[in-house]
Amino acid sequence: MNNTTTIPGIKKRFVPLKIFIVVLVFVGLGLFPFMSGNRFYISMINEMMIYGLLAMSLDVLLGYTGALSFMHNAYLGISAYVVGLFLIHISPASLWMACFAGIIFTSIVALPVGWVQVRTGGLAFALLTLAFGMMFHTIVWKWYDVTGGDDGLMGMPNPDITLFGWKLGSTGDPLAMYLFTLVIAAICFFLTRRIINSPFGAVLEAIRENEDRASFIGINVRRYKLLGWMLACLLAGISGALFILYKGYIGPSTMSAFAGAGVLMMVLLGGLGSLWGAFVGAAIFIYIQDYISTMTEHWEIFLGLVVIFLVLFLPTGFVGLGDHLKRFRKG
Amino acid sequence: MAELLYTENLCRRFGGVMATNKVCFSVNDHGLTSIIGPNGAGKTTFINIVTGKIPASSGKIFFKGNDITNKPTHDLVKMGICRTFQINSIFEDLSVFENLRIAKQAKNGGSLRIFSSKQSLRTVTEETWELLEHLGLKDLAIRPAKNLAYGDQRVLEVAIAMAGNPKILFLDEPTAGMSPTETKHISKLIKELSKKICVVLVEHDMDMIMSISDKITVLQYGSTIAEGTPEEIRNNQQVREAYLGKEE
Amino acid sequence: MKRFITVSLSLMIAVLLFAPQQVFAAKPVKIGVLVPLTGIVAQGGLEMKYGIEMAAEEKGTVLGRPIELIVEDTRVKPPVAVTKAEKLVYKDDCKALIGVFSSGVGLALSKNIDKLNVPFVSTHVMTTKFYGLHPLVFRSGQLANDQTAVGNVKGILARPDLKDRTYYVIVHDYSWGHDAGERFIALAKENGIKVYNDTYDKAPIKTKDWSSYISKIKASGADGVYMAFITNVIPAFAKQTSDFGLQGKVKLVSAAAPGPLELEAGGEACHGIFGASDWAWDVDNANSNDWEMRFWKKFNTIPSDAAVHSYVGAMNLFNAIEKAGSTDAKAIADALRGISFDGPYGNVRISAKDNCMRNSAVLTETMAAPENPFGAKVYMKVLKTFTADELGPPE
Amino acid sequence: MGGTIGIIVDISLNSLVLSGVFLIVAIGLNIIYGLSRIMNMGHGALYAVGAYTGYTLVATGFNYFVALVIAPIIVGGIGLLIERTIIAPMRKRSMVYTLILTYGLMFFLDGMIKYVWGNKPCFIDLPAFMQGTLSILGTQYPIFRLVTLFLIAGIMGGLMLFLNKTKVGLILRASSTIPEMVSCLGINMSYVHMGAFVLGCIMAAMAGIIAGPLTTIDPLMGSEMLISSFVVIVIGGLGSLRGAVLAALLIGFVQTLAEFFITDLAMVIVYVLMAVILAFMPRGILGEGKFE
């Protein structure tokens, strides 16, 4: 199947099988809302897709560039606030303009932060992301007249969604919002996969593998880490725009340190270094958190135990399970 | 033969210790220069300064006439100053093929392409295969670097440095931990290479040094105590004392 | 021995699986209860849950069908509350939502009420933004900020030792705190009560160490503090002010009634807190005393205003569903407008004009408790009762 | 009543007390990180467990100072149990996974606190002589807070003596700089890691009991203190004890002053300061690893 004499991409085995599965999943998700019609599951999967996109953006940073960010959800928050404020104050109908403004603003904020971040490495990088994240959280929480402080953004209109000229319905209607999220998430997923497999993606992986050696083969490590950071923040910005359109609300608690660690959990649950693993991790994490918290008041105890169990006994996460099993088979 | 690279009174101080003490070192655009000296003589520190891993305390380094002291590592590599490491520093989880491909890509450029596939960089992939063939690593191409035998990993270490088409290549104890046959293979390779580009070798294996070096510099306590052809160095009294200690 | 264990185990599982399913006479009416069971106000949330459970038990059935309460933890986080509300309405098919402790959560829920399309009765939200907010959104619980401000200002004016003090205003930094602070300052200025800082201090909710704020109060020379803090933080603030030796000199007036359990923890330091509230267990009438004993026997926690508000709110909701004769959202909402219930703190009527309750209230001051069945050491003594019209707002 | 001197005294004493509490919590975190490169996210929860244990001991009749000794021992035991069961197997794993494991530990401990002690805030009742206030330079300052300063100084002194003078202390200090060398000398490194974790938990518990009467003991005290202690050890330099002392003082003063003058933006200032220091001194003020 794989002829080493020709010039192959090494990971090209089982290509048709993988494409078939991905298309199957995409069509399945697409048809789901029409079949089941139960609004709770539609909005739950919608939320899973949004957080999956955010987890994927963190995986670009952690799984591919080897940089740990504690509060990647801060950039979801910034973009959501800008989109919300744009819709409330500037023009309530122009959905695409608002999303565009949100993402651009997030990137503008992420650039100087990224420039400072890449000057550090390892644990210092992670703790610096905590510092910046908490700074944004506190600013958003204190700037009462603009962001509504602890109550979050109030008075979000429900603009109409027009996708490639086709009017889906307003963001208030869960079905339209579901399809909008699905399409945007799919586009981001395929583009990110493309970028990860591009020469630029290869440089990120080299930096993850061995930052020192990377600079000794001529890679300007700081510049590429910054580009990786910007890509991750851009994707987080997109998930932020989707978040506020879907939920109609954004508050400081979504940008808190604990929500940040939650996103990190999703990536690890899904398995590092696999983009669609992040979506699986997000789905599992959201289900566990909601399911356990309805079961008992003391849901924190069980969530803690689940986390400890996963890290001790299932290090590579659910998607990573494959490699785990393969290794066993080899004996 | 124009001087490719030379240093003027290069110093590096760690607290009170002068790890590199006013070293004046120069190499031409090709040929094999070796740096030897007892452990702790400052050989690796010297290489670390020239290749930009650690900044120099004082003194200057010139490459093709222009001053490159304390320039960032990636710029030095782009200019053609590459090095290997004493302790293996390779991209473990990546395949051998990818290890060299990424080094080639970093050299030939194209890293900023975010939408084209890796294979679209034709020349990079072709040159990688040539290098693999040249070094006899072809059949290990798809295996992750960390699963290689230690000797092969050392060869890969040198290969990654060579992938950057260096003008000057610093080899920091490439044969450390290699079997005699592998050492012979690598020595032949290095000798062949030194015909085309300038190679600076840091080694403890005296037979290898004496057999393939064009010029030898001996370092002790951070400063140069002798310089010359293998013959001159073998008979040099000071060098013998530095290694064997003064006869009572 | 091993065989014995496996046999008994399988027996036990069999019994569990085929236990006689409780045969329902008719499908239960499901009501979604949204209260904070974790986070800073967990104790208040627990008491609210008890109040609603007690009401459901005493009401028994609605429209001839049993009442089924489905409780969800909002964690005092608006996004979580919205997700849980969606779950309650879409998945569990709840016909109405009740509860909610904080204004932030209440406002976020009201924003999504069109999507949810069920009536929502809040039993502890005090923000004045709830007046006429939405045809499906009601308040039947804690006094609103304007009513409390009126109660407190009237209380201060009636007391010579409080009238001429200058008050330092400090609030918890979220919408309820701001609203309570602004209302008091405006009303105090109208009635000539001296206020030290017009721009009130805003303290983060998670503040634990009040020393820097207390130093500011000491530096200001004010001899009174008007505080708008979440119920279970009040005793902590009182204790630290007494640590700094201010208990005798500075009078604490509170915009919200401190929780009884927290008062117990505060002990001696919590004496002398002055403030208006719907109810305290010192209220002496047959209905209130009887309710207190029932609550104490059932839950063995000191009856608190959070519990009684939720009890009354739940009763109003159940009676409205009964009156509407159906579980249709609009019918229940129409029935809720103008409905009233004679509870422990008198007649509580939901005004048809702005969907918010009108009821009498009491002016209280905390001091050492007399002999009481709950074993409480500190209690809120009732000084004066306000009628509903005195507190307004006019209809 | 206050007068400007009074305010200055108030502020400086308040910030000293705040710095002291930050210091003890941060030192515990730094010991664990300095010795076994583990960043314990559950440290805040252990601080809260210490406070609650102290509260229960005092409530059941023990004198406050006796509780100050017993509670850390209990929490140290809990720390030992945690270390043996879930931290030791993580020795060879990368830092990311230990971070997430201890994050789970934090959730677990917070949940257990709520389960065992319930939701209500608790107050430690102090022995008689410590209640009431002392008038210093025209302002009334609670006696207990002054006593806290001495307690903190005593604990720090004890720790320094323990590290510098005792044999175990010597081993701990040596293994923070060159772990491999210490294991070559025949010292079982797993005992060192165990010792470090337990010592860290003891410090957290002590900080909890001291901070108990200062602030309120409620289930959320752990998580808030965790973030502040992160700020302190990062600015001071990961693993460096002297750095933690400097950073605790700096953050204590900055936070108290900011809370006094610009109450709203107090916390923003602290995080901006952390970001600036980290940006230009990624290793913190005193650099990493110097474990004295």
H or E segment at A139? Answer: helix A122-142
Residue C18 CA, distance from chain mean position = 42
Residue A19 confidence (pLDDT): 76
Q: What percent of chain C has pLDDT over 70?
A: 94
Helix (H) or strand (E) holding B63: strand B58-63
Measured distance between the N- and C-terminal CA atoms of chain B, rounded to whole angstroms: 44
String of DSSP letters for C232-279: GGHHHHHHHHHHTT-TTTSEEEESSPPPHHHHHHHGGGGTTEEEEES-
Q: What mean pLDDT is predicted for residues C223-237?
A: 86
Per-residue pLDDT band for C4 (boundaries 50, 70, 90) equals: low
Distance from CA of C310 to the nearest CA of A (A): 19
Cβ-nearest to C235 among D121, D141, D256: D121
Counting residues of chain B whose pLDDT is more than 70, the rounded percentage is 96
Task: Name every chain A residue with its beta carbon within 8 A of the beta carbon of C37.
Answer: 297
* A65 inside 8 A of chain C by CB: no
| Residue B125 in this model has a pLDDT that exceeds 70 | yes
Size of interface A-B (CB pairs under 8 A): 110
List CB contacts (< 8 A) between C40 and chain D.
Answer: 218, 220
| Neighboring chain D residues of A268 at a CB cutoff of 8 Å | 96-97, 100
Q: Please say whether the dihedral angle defined by the alpha carbons of residues C282, C287, C291 and C294, taken in this order, is positive or negative.
A: positive
Residues 108-167 of A with CB under 8 A from B: none
Is residue A190 within 8 angstroms of chain B, CB to CB? no
Q: How many Cα atoms sit within 13 Å of B153 on the Cβ side?
A: 19
Note whether B touches D: 3 CB pairs or more under 8 A. Answer: no
Q: What is the dihedral of CA A120, A123, A129, A133, to 10 degrees?
A: -150
Residues of A with Cβ-Cβ distance to D96 under 8 angstroms: 62, 68, 268
Question: How far apart, in Å, are the Cα atoms of D129 and each of D41, D62, D142?
Answer: 37, 16, 11
Residue C251 has pLDDT above 80, yes or no: yes
A312 touches B at CB < 8 Å: no
Is the pLDDT at D143 greater than 90, yes or no? Answer: no
Q: Is residue A212 within 8 angstroms of chain B, CB to CB?
A: yes
Residue B38 token pair: 């007892």
**What is the per-residue pLDDT for C51?**
93
Using the Cβ of D148 and the Cβ atoms of chain C, whether some distance falls under 8 Å is answered with no
- Residue A152 contacts C, CB cutoff 8 Å: yes
**What is residue A85's predicted lDDT score, i.e. its pLDDT?**
93
What is the distance of C-alpha A95 from the center of its chain? 21
CA distance A235 to chain B (A): 15
Residues of chain C whose beta carbon is less than 8 angstroms from a beta carbon of chain D are 38-40, 42-43, 46, 173, 201-204, 206, 208-209, 211-213, 215-216, 218-219, 221, 232-233, 235-236, 239, 243-246, 249, 261-262, 265-267
Cβ within 8 Å, pair C236-D121? yes
pLDDT surpasses 80 at C15: no
SS3 C372: coil
User: DSSP letter string over A17-64?
Assistant: HHHHHHHHHHHHHHHHHHHH--HHHHHHHHHHHHHHHHHHHHHIIIII
CA dihedral D58, D62, D67, D70 (to 10 degrees): -130
Higher pLDDT pick, D92 / C348: C348
Q: Compare all CA atoms of chain C with the CA of D267 and give the residue at the minimum distance.
A: C204
Is B77 in Cβ contact with A217 (below 8 Å)? yes
Strand partners, B67: B62
Measure CB to CB from residue D111 to each of A127, A261, A301 and give the nearest one. A301
D227 and chain A in contact, CB less than 8 A: yes
Q: Does position C157 have pLDDT exceeding 80, yes or no?
A: yes
Neighbours of B129 (CB within 10 A): 17
pLDDT band at C3 (very low <50, low <70, confident <90, very high): very low
How much is the pLDDT for B1?
Answer: 47
Q: Does B132 touch chain A (CB under 8 A)?
A: no
Cβ of D279 within 8 Å of Cβ of A123? The answer is no
The tens digit of pLDDT for each residue in C96-113 reads 999 998 888 888 888 888
| C87 touches A: beta carbon within 8 Å | yes
Strand B223-228 relative to strand B215-220, pairing: antiparallel
Report chain B's mean pLDDT, rounded to a whole number: 85
Of D268, D274, D283, the CB nearest to A142: D268
| D86 vs A126, A139, A312: nearest CB | A312
CA distance B200 to B193: 11
- Give the percent of chain B with pLDDT over 90: 0
Partner residue opposite A311 with nearest CB, options D97, D115, D265: D97
Predicted pLDDT of residue D36: 80
Q: Peptide bond before C393: cis, by omega within 30 degrees of 0? A: yes
The string of pLDDT tens digits covering residues D17-26 is 889 999 999 9
**Upper half-sphere CA count for residue B184 (Cβ side, 13 Å):** 2
pLDDT, tens only, B218-247: 888 888 888 888 888 888 887 777 776 655
Q: How far apart are the first and last CA of chain C?
A: 77
Domains along the sequence of chain C with CATH: 25-142+285-358 (3.40.50.2300), 146-277+361-391 (3.40.50.2300)
Q: Which of A311, A312, A314 to mutate to test the interface with D (most CBs of D within 10 A)?
A: A311
Residues 6+ apart with CB under 8 A from A100: none
Query: pLDDT per residue over C21-67, tens digit each?
Result: 444 457 889 999 999 988 778 888 989 999 999 999 999 888 888 99
Q: Provide the pLDDT for residue D1.
A: 44
Assess D237–C contact: CB distance below 8 Å, yes or no. no
Predicted structure pTM score: 0.84
Q: Are B56 and B11 in contact (CB under 8 A)?
A: yes
Averaged pLDDT score across all residues of chain C? 84
Using one digit for the tens of pLDDT, what is the confidence trace for D225-240? 888 888 888 888 877 7
Q: Which segments of chain A have a pLDDT < 50?
A: 1-11, 321-331
From chain B, the residues in CB contact with A2 under 8 A are 142
Nearest-CA neighbor of A288 among A33, A39, A48?
A48
Amino acid identity, residue D251? I
Q: Do D11 and C212 touch (CB under 8 A)?
A: yes
Query: What H or E segment, with its residue span, contains residue C202?
Result: strand C201-203
Nearest to A221 by CA among A133, A117, A111: A117
Q: Residue A125: closest CA among chain D residues belongs to which residue?
A: D282
Q: Are D68 and D206 in contact (CB under 8 A)?
A: yes
pLDDT in tens, B184-214: 888 888 888 888 888 998 888 888 888 888 8
Cβ contact, residue pair A304, D97, below 8 Å: no
A171 CB neighbours in chain C (<8 A) are none
- Residue D292 banded pLDDT, cuts 50, 70, 90: low
Q: Is D217 helix (H, G, I), strand (E, B) or coil?
A: strand
- A57 neighbors A107 (Cβ within 8 angstroms): no
Sign, Cα dihedral of D100, C207, D205, D160 = positive
Nearest CA distance, A263 vs chain C (angstrom):
15
The pLDDT score that the predictor gives to residue D287 is: 63
Chains B and A physically touch (3 or more Cβ atom pairs below 8 Å): yes
CA-wise closest residue to A188 among A280, A74, A53 = A53
User: CB C201 to CB D1 under 8 A?
Assistant: no
Q: How confident is the model at residue C19 (pLDDT cuts 50, 70, 90)?
A: very low
User: Do A104 and A234 form a contact (C-beta atoms < 8 A)?
Assistant: no
Q: Does C117 touch chain A (CB under 8 A)?
A: no
Query: Taking CB atoms and an 8 Å cutoff, what residues of chain B touch A213?
Result: 85, 89-91, 160
Q: Do B and C count as touching (3 or more CB pairs closer than 8 A)? A: no
Tell me the per-residue pLDDT of D166-175, one tens digit each, with 9 for 90 and over: 888 888 878 7
Size of chain C in residues: 395
A chain contacts of residue B129, beta-carbon cutoff 8 Å: 7
Q: Which residues of A touch C87 (CB under 8 A)?
A: 40, 290, 294
The residue among C243, C268, C377 with the most chain D CBs within 10 A of its CB, best to mutate, is: C243
- What's the whole-number mean pLDDT along residues C74-102? 88
Looking at 1.10.10, 3.30.70, 1.10.1740, 1.10.3470, the CATH number of the domain D2-121+128-280 comes to 1.10.3470
